[in-house]
Amino acid sequence: MIFTDIAAVVYLDADTIVVKNIDVLFKCGKFCANLKHSERLNSGVMVVEPSEELFNDMVSKVTTLKSYTGGDQGFLNAYYAGFPSARVFDPNISTEEVNSKPAAEMERLSTLYNADVGLYMLANKWMVDEKELCVIHYTLGPLKPWDWWTSWLLKPVDIWQEVREHLEESLPGTGGGRNPHDHLLVNFLFLLPVFILLFCYYRSFIQTRSLCDHARHIYYKFRSGGALAYSTVSSSTISSNQQFANGAHSMVPDYLGGISVLVCFVAAVVSLGFGFSVVPRQVKPWTGLILMYEWIFTIFFLLFGCYLHMIYKWGKMVANQTGNRGPGASDYDSEKGHQRVSCDVAPWYYGLGMAFLAVAAPLTPGIFGITALILRLSLMVAGGLVLASFMTYASEHLAIRSFMRGLEDRDTSRTRNACVLCC
């Protein structure tokens, strides 16, 4: 159905945003669009005069005119073949002048009415006066402004998010660009990883010993200068420890480090993919980032932590088969009478180090005020390489450490603790 009683229609793509009044576009002729750098019109912002005759003519040529995109934009470029040579639309023209002469068949719109974010990212600036911009067009393929992660890559998305914040409530719960259907889901996604980690902590520590035991362990640890077990260490114990360490290192499989690095990176990729899949795309940028990190860290903790626990069990099995046992593996401290607590702090140091680098990599460009897309991506890649190097070292070291602890604990009736990262 063609609404021929309407004088003009201004069409806007869904990935555009109006930042200034565009009423002047109704002064356009029969067809107006913006000419991009490729000498082709862009159909993201158009002004058309409804015409049944024009519509029927287009329909008759749909199958004969070649569309370089396979869609509307390619067809319109073929249909309006002379568009590159069309005159430029003058927004300052008076209404009397518009009515006094025949309407132009085609007119080219200024970039002010179709500011291409892709061109902005190439030059890191708008090709026109930013204060005069009327319509911004987010044309970078899959990087659309409603996806929370694009705010951390493209500076112009800040404008879209700012407009979103000031949207009035059209339906209950929609004020400020909120989606009421995502509210419950976001709260669930935020709380579930917390409960998972609390449950793991409960299974690891609270079930086997009280909080008082942990507090006492931390007190003795710091009082003794950081020793993991707070019993008195004699010179004979040190000597036997050194002999055990020399023998235990020879029992560590040569391929353990390589396998551990592979498992670590697979766990990281799985965690990253899972995080992207569960976080709703249209949440606010900070909400998306926090949820993303929360789920990545939780899944990685579970996957790689379980792997370390398996390596610990493997070490115990090897020690039981060979009959080797390290000194000081009893469940109770002979002098203090306390249950032996041997939570290894090294995994937490490495874990915090990886978490810090994972957070710093995407945020560093924003901290230093870098807005250029290429430079932002370069810094993120550099941060990613530093993180990958650290993960390589940490995963190999933690796996060997877990194996050695398993060798030492071969005769214990139960593991020192069930903590997946502290074995």
For residue range 124-167, what is the model confidence (pLDDT) as tens digits?
Answer: 778 788 888 999 999 888 889 999 988 888 888 988 988 888 88
pLDDT of 21 higher than 50: yes
pLDDT in tens, 200-212: 777 766 555 555 6
How far apart are alpha carbons 199 and 47 in whole angstroms?
A: 59
Three-state DSSP at 396 gives helix
Asked if 165 and 177 count as a contact pair (C-beta separation under 8 A), the reply is yes
Q: Is the dihedral of CA 144, 149, 155, 160 positive or negative?
A: positive
Q: How large is the average pLDDT for residues 231-251?
A: 50
Give pLDDT, residue 347.
79
* Domain ranges across the chain: 9-141, 192-408
- Of all residues in the chain, what percent carry a pLDDT higher than 70? 79
Sequence-distant (≥ 6) Cβ neighbours of residue 331 within 8 angstroms = 339, 340, 412, 413
pLDDT of 389 higher than 90: yes
Q: How confident is the model at residue 376 (pLDDT cuts 50, 70, 90)?
A: confident
The C-alpha R_g of the chain, in whole angstroms, comes to 32
Any idea how long the chain is?
423
Give pLDDT, residue 341.
44
Q: How confident is the model at residue 415 (pLDDT cuts 50, 70, 90)?
A: very low
pLDDT of 286 higher than 50: yes
* Among 227, 423, 214, CA closest to 311: 423
Q: How confident is the model at residue 332 (pLDDT cuts 50, 70, 90)?
A: very low
Three-state DSSP at 46 gives strand
Single pTM value for the model: 0.75
What CATH architecture does domain 9-141 belong to? Alpha-Beta Complex (3.90)
Q: How large is the average pLDDT for residues 232-243?
A: 44
Rounded to whole angstroms, what are the CA distances from 347 to 206, 308, 360, 392, 421? Answer: 19, 10, 20, 14, 6
